Structure formats: C-alpha cells, structure tokens
Structure 1
Amino acid sequence: MITVERLTKRYGGFTAVDDVSFTVRPGRVTGFLGPNGAGKSTAMRMMCGLTVPTAGTATVLGKPYAALPNPARHVGVLLDASAQHAGRTGRETLTLAAIMVGADRKRVDEMLDLVGLTPKEAGRRVRNYSLGMRQRLGIATALLGDPQVLILDEPVNGLDPAGIRWMRSLLAGFAEQGGTVLLSSHLLLEMQEVSDDLIVIGGGKIVAQGSKEELLSVPGSVVASLDDVALATALERGGFEVTLHAGGGLATSAQPEQVGVVARDAAIALTNLTLAQNHGLEELFFNLTAETAREEVAA
C-alpha cells in the first residue's frame, strides 16, 4: 500500500505539488494521470525518497521509502528508463542490481526471460537499446527484488502494440497476486484498459480520484418513445433532469426503472430504453484538467 497525506513540494514561489492526499491499494492497478507539469513525477519522486517534501508525508508499506530495509526488495521503481548506464550490457545492469539488493543471481535470467529480452539483446550495450528495450530492462530491474509494490512513471513509452499488451498483462498479473501498482502514463486509452482506480492531478492538486467505474460512470438513462415531448414533461414533473435530442429521444438523470414507471403512469409507449453510456477516460481527463493543461503550439 502507498499512503500519501497532505504532500506538498514548493520550489521558491512555485508549488509543484499542493496538499495532495490519496491511497494506492494492494491488489489494484492505480492510474496516476495529469497534463505535463501537473506534478505527477514530482509526487512519485517524493514517494521514492528522491525529492524531499516541503510538507506532508508519503509512506510505502507503512514506512517512508528510505526507512524500508533494503527498499528494492519491497518496492520496484521505474522513473526514467533513459537513466541506465549506457556502457553496460543489459545483463551486466541486472547482475549489478542483483548484487546490490542481495537477490539470487538466478533472478537475472528469470527477469530477462520475463520481459522478453533475448540472450543476444541482453549482451548488447544499453547505448544500443531502443527506448522500448530500455523500458523492458527497467521493468526487469524493478521486479528483480520480488517487490510488493511497483511505482512506474511512463513505462509503456517506446513499446510497440505487442509490448503494451504484454505490459498490461504483467501489471494485471502482479496486482492479482496482491501487489500494489501505481502507474503514470499519457496513453489514456491504455490507462483506461489497465487501471482499476484513477487519480487525476492538475496544477499540483488532486482534481478527482476513485475507482474507474465510479469516475467514468454517467448516471441516468437514454430513452426514446412515441411522444418524447410528453415524456420529457412527465420526467421533469417528477423532478428529473431531461435533455431532448434533436434527432429524437432524450437523456435523463432518471434510472431506467424510474423512466419506466413515469412512462407507464403517463401512458406513453417506450421504443428504446438503456443506461446512459459511460464517459471515456479521455473525455474525463480533458474536462478535469482543461484549466491547468499547457496549450500545445502547432509547429
């Protein structure tokens, strides 16, 4: 479990992370979302003991990261895949990491196989790796100590579709075994696919958090009838919000069973009745972060 309480980081007069609180639960993949400059990476660095908070606390498995005995045996971290030593081979990188954390050397081959780096690729210098290969090596390093928690910043960058699908399966399997996953990514469709819970940050503040189902759900119904105007009037009389569609039918805050009762009492025949469609994560993201997102300038 990761617990963040009133976490704040200021740089002079600039507040990068502003009084942030949330919990990342075991057995779940939690997506951490926000525009560039929203404070995601700074918050993750504070969780991993790399940046000192101005105020507040961040604990992993009940302790500050630095207070954990041999932290890499408990927490797997990937914050920057490009930070690996370019002159070492992939195998050397993992072997040195295994020595440092006290992991069995057998884990090196196991992790190389798990992340799909072949013996030939493992013997290649990291400077000759693609970004996707560096990501795989970074994941192998994060998993080397058999941790209970994963903190990953943009781990799917550079992966091809097959690699993204592999990453999705790996993270889901880790969570299913009781692990805790905090995952940051700009690939919103992928985050919608893999995440169980979502935390959205904008301008250094949390603007939404909860289960994916809670945040993406839209209450109410979509309905069509033989007399939509009369149905809209009856629903409004019952205290429900109603929006008429120009092409026919209407959206209402009433649940399907409530619509059915109102239509029955008003003697209006329904021709279609469904739950309102959920938001997509992309729609939710832009609605929540529009005021704090940077405007991209066309080249």
Structure 2
Amino acid sequence: MITVEHLTKRYGPVLAVNDVSFTAQPGLVTGFLGPNGAGKSTAMRMMTGLTPPTSGTARILGKPYGALANPGRRVGVLLDAAAQHAGRTGRETLALSALLTGVGRHRVDEVLDVVGLTPDEAGRRVRTYSLGMRQRLGIAGALLGEPDVLILDEPANGLDPAGIRWMRDLLRDFAADGGTVLLSSHLLTEIEQVADRLVVIGRGRIVAEGTKDDLLRAAGTFVRSTDDDALDAACRAAGIEVARQPGGGFTTAADAEQVARAALAAGVLVTELRDTGSRGLEELFLELTADDAREQVSA
C-alpha cells in the first residue's frame, strides 16, 4: 500500500505539489494522471525518497521509503528510463542492481525473459538501446527484487503496440497477485484499460480521486415524455435544472428518481428515463484539467 498525506513541495515561490493526499491499495492499479507540469513526477520522487517534501508524508508498506529495510526488495521504481549508465550492458546494469539489493543472479535472467530482452540485446551497451528497449530494461530493474509495490512513471514511452499490451498484462497480473501499482502515463487509453482507481492532479493539487467506474460515469439523467413542456415546467418548479435536446427530451444533473417524482407530481407520462451513460477518460481528463493545462489552444 502507498499512503500519501498532505504531501507538499515548494521551490521558493513555486508550489509544485500542494497538500496531496491519496492511497494506492494492494490488488489494484492506481492511475496517477495530470497535464505536464502538474506535479506528478515531483510527487513520485517524494514518495521514493529522491526529493524531500516541504511538508507532509508518503509511506509505502507503512513506512517512508528510506526507512524500509532494503527498499529495492520491497518497491520497484521506474521514474526515468533514460537514467541508465550508457556504457554498461543491459545485463551488467541488472547484475549490479542484484548485487546491491542481495538478489540472486538467477533473477537477472528471469526478468530479462519477462520483459522480452534477448540474450543478444542484454549483452549490448545501453547507449545502443532504443527508447523502448530502455523502458523494458527499466521495468526489468523494477521487477528484479520481486517487490510488493511498483511505482512507474511513463513506462509505456517508446513501446510499440505489442509492448504496450504486454505491459498492460504484466501490471494486471502483478495487481491480481496482491501487488500495489501506481502508474503515471499520458497514454489515457492505456490507463483507461488497466487502471482500477484514478487520481487526477492539476497544478499540484488533487482535482479528482476514486474508482475508474465512478469517475467515468457521467452524472445525470435523460428523460422523454408525452408532454416535455409540462415535465420541463414541473422539473423547474421542483428546482431541477434541465437542458432541452434537439431530438426531443432533455437532460438534467438530477438522478432518475428525482425526475420520476417530478413527473408523477405533474401527472406526466414518462416514455424514457435513463442514466446519461459513461464518458471516456480523455473527456474526463480534459474536463478536470482544463484550467491547469500548460498547453492552451489558441483560437
């Protein structure tokens, strides 16, 4: 489990992370989303002890990362796949990590096989690797200690479609075995497919948190009746705001029961009454971060 409480980071006058609190539970993949500059990477660096917080705490498995005994065996971390020694081979990179964390050398071959790096590729210098190969090596390093928790920042960068699907299956299986996954990515379609919970951050603060299904479920009701004008008036009289639709009927933020009671009180026969349905993650993301995005579309 990851528990973040009132995590704050200030760089002089800049408030990079502002009172962030959330949990990532075992057995679930938690998607950590936000536009560029929102504070995701800074928050993840604080969780893994690389950046000291100005205030607040981040605990992994009940303790700060640095207080864990041999944290490399408990927490697998990938924050920057480019931060690998270019002069070492892939196998040397993993062998050194295995030595430092006390992992048996047999794990090097096991994780290389898991991430799909061949013996020939593992014997090449990291400087010759493509971005996708660096990502696979970084994921291998995160898995090396057989951790209970994975913290991954943009792990799908550079992966081809087959690689992205492989990573999706890997994270699902890891969580299904009781592991905790915190995943940051700009690939919203992938987050939508793999995440169980979502935490959305904008300008350093949490703007939404909850299960994926709850957050993607569009609130409100669509209703159609034999006399939409009368039902419109009845809803407004009951304090329910409505929006007429060009094809007939209207939508409202009220739930179906509230609309049904208004129709009953007005003696109007309702012919269609349903939830407005679900929205996609991209729509939700843009809605929640519209005021926080650094890139603005000019007219």
Short-chain TM bin? over 0.9
Instruction: Name the aligned partner's letter for residue 123 of structure 2.
Output: G
| 2: CA distance, partners of 1:136 / 1:64 | 27
Q: Does 1:287 align with 2:284?
A: no
How high is the sequence identity, in percent, across the aligned residues? 67
Offset of residue 197 of structure 1: 1.0
RMSD value over aligned CA atoms?
Answer: 2.0
CA distance in 2, matches of 1:119, 1:224: 64
Amino acid at match of 1:172: R
Indicate how the Cα distance of structure 1 residues 281 and 115 shifts in structure 2: closer, same or farther if over 3 A, else same: same
* Farther-moved stretch of structure 1 (208-217 vs 168-177): 208-217
Q: Which residue of 2 aligns with 1:45?
A: 45
How has the CA–CA distance of structure 1 residues 105 and 19 changed in structure 2, closer, same or farther, with 3 Å as cutoff?
Answer: same
How far does residue 262 in structure 1 lie from its aligned partner after superposition?
A: 5.0
Q: Give the structure 2 partner of residue 119 of structure 1.
A: 119
CA apart distance, 1:288: 1.9
Q: Look up the equivalent residue of 1:145 and give its one-letter code.
A: G
**SS of residue matched to 2:82:** helix
User: 1:266-287 deviations in whole A, cap 9, x for unaligned?
Assistant: 5545444332122322222222
Task: Name the residue aligned to 2:175.
Answer: 175
The structural deviation recorded for 1:31 is 0.8
- Say if 2:69 is the partner of 1:72: no
Match of 1:156 in 2: 156
- Within-5 A mapping of 1:88-237: 88-237=88-237
Distance 1:294 1:56 in 2: 26
Cα offset for 1:142? 0.2
SS at match of 1:21: strand
| CA–CA separation in structure 1 for the residues paired with 2:254 and 2:202 | 31
Between the aligned partners of 1:12 and 1:19, the Cα distance in structure 2 is 16
TM-score by length of 1: 0.92
Structure 1 residues 107 and 30: alpha-carbon distance in aligned structure 2, compared to 1, 3 A threshold: same
Question: What's the offset of the Cα at 1:64?
Answer: 0.9
Higher mean C-alpha displacement, 161-170 vs 212-221:
212-221
**Counterpart residue identity of residue 112, structure 1:** L
Post-superposition Cα deviations, 1:81-116, rounded to whole Å, max 9, x if no partner, equal: 011111222122112211111112221111111111
In the TM superposition, residue 140 of structure 1 has moved relative to its aligned partner by: 0.7
**What is the identity, as a one-letter code, of the residue corresponding to 1:181?**
V
Partner Cα separation in structure 2 for residue 271 and residue 222 of structure 1: 11
Cα distance change of structure 1 residues 255 and 14 upon mapping to structure 2, 3 Å threshold: closer
- Give the distance between the partners of 1:232 and 1:288, measured in 2 at CA: 29
For residue 141 of structure 2, what is the amino acid of its counterpart? Answer: T
C-alpha separation in 2, matches of 1:165 and 1:2: 25
C-alpha separation in 2, matches of 1:126 and 1:201: 33
Cα distance between partner residues in 2 of 1:89 and 1:271 = 68
Give the match for residue 276 of structure 2: 276
In 2, distance between residues paired with 1:186 and 1:115?
21
Aligned residues, how many? 298
Counterparts of 1:235 and 1:36, CA distance in 2: 42
* 2:147 maps to amino acid: P
* Partner amino acid, structure 2, of 1:16: A
Q: Which amino acid aligns with 1:241?
A: E
User: For structure 1, which segment, 226-235 or 96-105, has the greater mean C-alpha deviation from structure 2 after superposition?
Assistant: 226-235
Amino acid at match of 1:19: D
SS at structure 2 position matched to 1:201: strand
Q: Once the 2 structures are TM-superposed, how far is the Cα of residue 180 of structure 1 from its aligned partner?
A: 0.7
Q: Deviations over 1:39-77 (max 9, x none)?
A: 111111011111111111111111111111110100000
Q: Hey, what's the Cα distance between the residues in 2 that align with 1:107 and 1:129? A: 21
CA distance in 1, matches of 2:253, 2:296: 35
Separation of aligned partners in 1, 2:263 and 2:297:
50
**Larger displacement relative to structure 2 (19-28 or 226-235):** 226-235
Unaligned segments of structure 2, at least 5 residues: none
Higher mean C-alpha displacement, 257-266 vs 235-244: 257-266
Q: Distance in 1 between matches of 2:262 and 2:293?
A: 43
Q: Deviations over 1:162-215 (max 9, x none)?
A: 111111111111111111111111112221221111111111111111111222
Q: 1:275 to 1:110 in 2, by over 3 A?
A: same
Q: In structure 2, how many angstroms separate the alpha carbons of the residues matched to 1:34 and 1:258?
A: 34
